[in-house]
Amino acid sequence: MSKLTIPIGPQHPALKEPECFIITVDGERICEANMRLGYNHRGIEKRCEEITYIQSAYLIERVCGICSHSHSTAFIQAVEEIAGLEVPKRGLYIRTLFGELERIHSHLLWLGVAGHEIGFDTLLMYSWRDREIVMDILAMVSGNRVNYGMNSIGGVKRDISPEQADAILKAMDDLEERTKYYIELGLQETTLIKRLSGAGSISYEDATRLGAVGPTARASKVDQDVRRDDPYAAYAELEFNVITDDHNDVYGRTLVRLGELMESYKLVRQLIKNMPDGPIRKKGPRKIPAGEAISRYEAPRGEDVHYVKANGTDKAFRVKVRAPTLANLSAVSKMLEGDYLADVPIVIAAIDPCFSCTDRMAVRNIRGGATEMHNPGSLRNFSIDWYRRRGIDFTDLNKKLMKRLERV
Amino acid sequence: MAVQILEIIIFPGFLFLTVFAMIAEYLDRILYARFQNRKGPPWFQPFADFIKLVAKEDIVPECANPFVFKLMPILALASVITASFYIPMWDNKALFSFEGDIIVIVYLLTIPTISFFLGGWYSRSLYATIGAMRNLTQLFAYEVPLFLAILSPAILAHTWSLSEMTVFFNNHLWLLPFNIIGFAVALIALLGKLEKVPFDIPEAETEIVAGSFTEYSGRLLAFFRMAIDIEMVVGASLVAAVFLPFGLGLNPVLGFILYILKVVFVIFLLALLRSVFARLRIEQMMDFCWKYLAPAAFLQIVVCVILKGVLL
């Protein structure tokens, strides 16, 4: 069989989000892998320039459905830094607690997705069942399963009662027991090890050169973790280990995530035990003084970077979001080279991708060489023109449709 | 003649097999669900799926060869049903039997795989083409161990007829435990034949959508799915007839109940196996089948030859 080019995406059962990987295969082996980004641009950054900081905090939380707390914390940290706000200790602890609970639910989710990608649906069903425990905890405290709405400029919105703290501690015990079972499974189950090891291999040198972050990098022995290297929130006062692994492949990434789950349980226990009394928030100003700040946050998928520039009004002058998936994507094409076609889904899934969170773009006219910014109206006209040049006229179709509707 | 036609169409032929296959699919799905801690589908789900698919439009891709594309599901269905006529189910005698029918059964059970391949290949879709290639590659991996595993009890019984083989084993029940390796090999090879986890490589949904069936829809897909369900029942019946042939020919009612229990037992084992493994890659499957499964089947043949020399 000669070389075949297979498009994985933008719509494909292996991908939960629109993204296109163009894979050239020779039989079952991959010769080349290319990717195309930008199918789900939502214009969040631009919108943040038009709404107030308080509204932006809600919008930024919706960058990602899984690591929503990560994005909102990273953004609010930057705003607080510009405003010079001192957040009360208890507020920081609750913020950190939510960050860790979110990491637990994200990693359990990943474990299930990974199981599904390698055709091990039993693992998917088991880990997602156990994930419900932590989802219930999050819903109990914040009222929401995702997009908790806990952060506000100057602290957090809801306090944790002693009963809730007890429930969290009990849930941690259950989850720890389950995670130990998964670790045992990961170390013993033959087909699991066979499928995961060797897939998506990337060396330490390549991982650092291509700027991989988070568990993807840590599985290649890159010892980096923002929580330890540049502590934010309450992490400076907590004890935890940064899990690394030298397998370099998807199996290593699985072990790192399972190890991080165990560390997260430890962290949650410490946070509950050492939680100081006092207020949970300090009222922040509506207008943020001029200035700029970069905020780093260790999201479950890796380092999340937010940049905020303020100009003294109640609206941000510029907001920039760099989601961790973007940092990991360049490593993916390297990982895929020389692998089997069967490994494509799991290798892509192993960076725990969040493509929709990653998409940031400006529409550019390449032929003209000039960069054009489109607003929604001009983008609409552009698309009407584009289709008309290809012989599809939506204005006619629209008229026909209207006529038919009138008849009905 | 009239009785035979009635037997072919209604019982134990086409109609019975169809209903039983749907019940078997339900059992397989509910067991799989329970192993995964899920609730599973209601009992009428396979029937509802079938009716839904039959009611839908058939879409034949523009580039596909319509003749082959439409023929293949019917061929698959016909061949598995024909295979069932040669398998003794609850009696010592199958509907039809002659010296050498084991080879015919194995041959007829290979046709569905070939038809999946041709159907996928001629639908001209990228995913279907890759699925079709995998179908064929996989065929070479499991077919030999399966054939060897079924062959060895035949050597022991010194016959090429499945019906006579069951008569032989019913007279020598104490010989059955010696076929245990063959039983295990046949079960695993059957998983490959039915394209279930860990050998669902040709239709790995996360990689190549639905493999050979990607372009199929409506009635044609319904026939394909029906063929797979019946293949599961026929495969389970074959394994039951070869490796668990006890209690046949005593009493039709008792034999029938025993037959259903045996098939359910085999389906139970298949569901258990597929819920504890991850999907292998195609080259890992080739490795596994040729390095472990085929030698195990050879070992079974050696055991049978020695037994035959020493004890009989």
Residue spans per domain, chain B:
2-311
Task: Say how far apart CA A310 and CA A308 lie, in whole Å.
Answer: 6
Task: Say how far apart CA B141 and CA B246 lie, in whole Å.
Answer: 30
User: In A237-275, which positions are buried (b, 16+ CB within 10 angstroms) versus exposed (e)?
Assistant: ebebebbbbebbbbbbbbbbbbbbbbbbbbbbbbbbeeb
Tokens representing residue A41 in the block: 């641009």
Read off the pLDDT of residues A271-317 as tens digits, 9 standing for 90 and up: 998 888 888 888 888 888 888 889 999 889 888 899 998 888 888 88
Task: Say how far apart CA A322 and CA A71 lie, in whole Å.
Answer: 10
Contacts of A11 in chain B (CB under 8 A): none
Closest residue, chain B, to A113 (C-alpha):
B206
Cβ contact B278–A123 (<8 Å): yes
Residue B206 contacts A where some CB pair is shorter than 8 Å: yes
3-state secondary structure of A35: strand
Cβ contact A195–B126 (<8 Å): no
Read off the pLDDT of residues A314-340 as tens digits, 9 standing for 90 and up: 888 888 888 888 888 888 888 888 888
CA distance B225 to chain A (A): 20
Contacts of A122 in chain B (CB under 8 A): 35-36, 275-276
Rounded alpha-carbon distances, angstroms, from residue B224 to A194, B53, B237: 31, 11, 20
Which residues of chain B, if any, have pLDDT below 70?
249, 312
Give residue A104's pLDDT. 92
Residue B277 contacts A where some CB pair is shorter than 8 Å: yes
Among A25, A28, A129, A181, which would you mutate to test the B interface (most chain B Cβ atoms within 10 Å of its Cβ)?
A: A28
Give residue A20's pLDDT. 83
| pLDDT at residue A382 is higher than 70 | yes
Per-domain residue ranges of chain A: 3-36, 44-358, 377-407
Closest residue, chain B, to A189 (C-alpha):
B277
Read off the pLDDT of residues A24-38 as tens digits, 9 standing for 90 and up: 888 778 888 888 777
Task: Say how far apart CA A11 and CA A40 lie, in whole Å.
Answer: 12
User: Residue B94: which residues within 8 A CB-CB, separation 6 or more?
Assistant: B85, B86, B87, B88, B101, B162, B163
Tokens representing residue B257 in the block: 């109940």
Tokens representing residue A289 in the block: 């003084």
Beta-bridge partner residues of A316: A310
- Mean pLDDT over the full length of chain A: 85
For residues B195 and B306, the answer to whether their CB atoms sit within 8 Å is no
Give residue B30's pLDDT. 92
Closest residue, chain A, to B134 (C-alpha):
A28
The C-alpha R_g of chain A, in whole angstroms, comes to 23
Read off the pLDDT of residues A95-108 as tens digits, 9 standing for 90 and up: 999 999 999 999 99
Which member of B35, B197, B205 has the closest CB to residue A13? B205
Contacts of A192 in chain B (CB under 8 A): 278
Give residue B306's pLDDT. 87
Where are the extended beta strands (E) located within A212-368? 291-299, 302-310, 316-322
For residues A215 and A224, the answer to whether their CB atoms sit within 8 Å is no
Cβ contact B279–A116 (<8 Å): no
Q: Phi first, then psi: give them for residue A283, nearest 5 degrees.
A: -65, 125
Closest CA to B243 of B299, B195, B178, B147: B178
Closest residue, chain A, to B35 (C-alpha):
A122
CA distance A312 to chain B (A): 50
Q: Phi first, then psi: give them for residue A212, nearest 5 degrees.
A: -65, 150
Which member of A4, A126, A342 has the closest CB to residue B126? A4
Q: Where are the alpha helices (DSSP H) in A274-343?
A: 324-336
Closest CA to A328 of A359, A302, A307, A310: A302
3-state per-residue secondary structure call for chain B: CHHHHHHHHCCCCHHHHHHHHHHHHHHHHHHHHHHCCCCCCCCCHHHHHHHHHHHCCCCCCCCCCHHHHHHHHHHHHHHHHHHHCCCCCCCCCCCCCCCCHHHHHHHHHHHHHHHHHHHHHHCCCHHHHHHHHHHHHHHHHHHHHHHHHHHHHHHHHCCCCHHHHHHHHHHCHHHHHHHHHHHHHHHHHHHHHCCCCCCCHHHCHHHHCCHHHCCCCHHHHHHHHHHHHHHHHHHHHHHHHHHCCCCCCCCHHHHHHHHHHHHHHHHHHHHHHHHCCCCCCHHHHHHHHHHHHHHHHHHHHHHHHHHHHHHC
The gap from C-alpha A120 to its chain's centroid, in whole angstroms, comes to 23
Contacts of A1 in chain B (CB under 8 A): 133
User: Residue A344: which residues within 8 A CB-CB, separation 6 or more?
Assistant: A8, A14, A21, A23, A30, A33, A336, B207
Give residue A1's pLDDT. 54
Burial of A113 (0-12, 13-18, 19+ CB in 10 A): buried
Residue B37 contacts A where some CB pair is shorter than 8 Å: yes
Contacts of A111 in chain B (CB under 8 A): none
Give residue B48's pLDDT. 92
Helices (H) and strands (E) in chain A — how many of each?
16, 8
Among A125, A196, A249, which would you mutate to test the B interface (most chain B Cβ atoms within 10 Å of its Cβ)?
A: A125
Question: Which amino acid would we find at residue A51?
Answer: I
Task: Say how far apart CA B242 and CA B254 lie, in whole Å.
Answer: 19
Cβ contact A115–B206 (<8 Å): no
Question: Which amino acid would we find at residue A8?
Answer: I
Total number of residues shown for chain A: 408
Residue B284 contacts A where some CB pair is shorter than 8 Å: yes
Residue B279 contacts A where some CB pair is shorter than 8 Å: yes
Task: Say how far apart CA A153 and CA A77 lie, in whole Å.
Answer: 8
Beta-bridge partner residues of A291: A310
ipTM tops the 0.90 cut: no
User: Residue B119: which residues within 8 A CB-CB, separation 6 or more?
Assistant: B68, B69, B72, B73, B128, B132, B212, B213, B216, B224
Task: Say how far apart CA B245 and CA B54 lie, in whole Å.
Answer: 37
Which member of B38, B280, B282 has the closest CB to residue A194? B280
Domain A44-358 matching CATH 1.10.645.10: the answer reads: yes
Q: Phi first, then psi: give them for residue B110, nearest 5 degrees.
A: -80, -30
Q: Which residue has the tokens 């998917």?
A: A124
Cβ contact B206–A341 (<8 Å): no
Question: Which amino acid would we find at residue B83?
Answer: A
